[in-house]
């Protein structure tokens, strides 16, 4: 469902000139297409000016190295905005829900047998994230077994709209972890200046039954 820049700005809660900038940039990158129509639904004299409407593009776009997923971000955002425009639900909640569902889906698609333990689940999560451009960097120097993600697939978007992009990203990675329950790793939102905003930690193994 096409939306206007005013509808997008109101749904996300940003200034209209910021919405115009980001929508036009997504259009320039081929992620959105535009049309012009009168929102009143009327035609002829007195029907009002036409408005520029944005909708998800059908064009497929390849990305460069380091891997970026702006097409994915555009698809998730456009779907959330369109659903919000038709249902009235908060668009940010819809965006995070869509990202979480996407994370669950990519983990489920890559899954073989269920993870046997926390270490197995963490390894499975890292395989999924590595295939989607996150470049995991592991370090087992502590009991928590933390994993940093060197690359952020939404880097430019995160620099301009940090809270929006990082919460979307956290929801996506959380979805990957949740798909590997009950041993899935914990996804923590811990922004860093030179890496992705999410850190994975291997979940604690259950205490042995006495």
Render pLDDT for 146-177 as a digit per residue (tens, 0 to 9). 899 999 999 999 999 999 999 999 999 999 99
What is the pLDDT, as a whole number, of residue 210?
39
Residue 138 lies in a domain: yes
Residue 133 lies in a domain: yes
Residue 27 lies in a domain: yes
Residue 169 lies in a domain: yes
How many structural domains are present in the chain? 2
What is the pLDDT, as a whole number, of residue 79?
94
Nearest to 26 by CA among 73, 82, 63, 84: 73
Flag whether pLDDT at 187 surpasses 50: yes
What is the pLDDT, as a whole number, of residue 67?
86
Is 41 or 210 the better-scoring residue by pLDDT?
41
21 and 67, same domain (yes or no): yes
CATH number at residue 32: 1.10.10
122 and 197, same domain (yes or no): yes
Boundaries of domain holding 164: 117-201
Report the pLDDT averaged over residues 3-30: 90
Residue 109 lies in a domain: no
Confidence of residue 112 (pLDDT cuts 50, 70, 90): confident
128 and 87, same domain (yes or no): no
């Amino acid at each position: 469902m096409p939306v206007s820049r005013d509808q997008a700005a109101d749904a996300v809660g940003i200034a209209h000139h910021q919405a115009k900038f980001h929508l036009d940039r997504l259009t320039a990158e081929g992620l959105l297409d535009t049309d012009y129509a009168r929102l009143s639904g009327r035609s002829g004299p007195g029907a009002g000016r036409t408005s520029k409407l944005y909708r998800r593009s059908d064009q497929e776009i390849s990305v460069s190295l380091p891997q970026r997923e702006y097409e994915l971000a555009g698809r998730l955002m456009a779907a959330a905005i369109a659903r919000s425009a038709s249902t009235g639900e908060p668009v940010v909640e819809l965006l995070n829900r869509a990202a979480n569902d996407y994370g669950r889906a990519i983990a489920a698609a890559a899954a073989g047998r269920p993870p046997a333990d926390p270490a197995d689940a963490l390894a499975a999560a890292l395989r999924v994230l590595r295939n989607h451009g996150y470049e995991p960097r592991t370090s087992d120097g502590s009991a928590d077994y933390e994993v940093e993600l060197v690359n952020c697939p939404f880097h430019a978007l995160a620099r301009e709209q940090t809270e929006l992009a990082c919460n979307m990203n956290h929801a996506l990675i959380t979805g990957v972890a949740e798909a590997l329950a009950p041993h899935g790793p914990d996804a923590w939102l811990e922004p860093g200046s030179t890496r992705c905003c999410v850190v994975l930690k291997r979940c604690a193994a259950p205490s042995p039954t006495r």
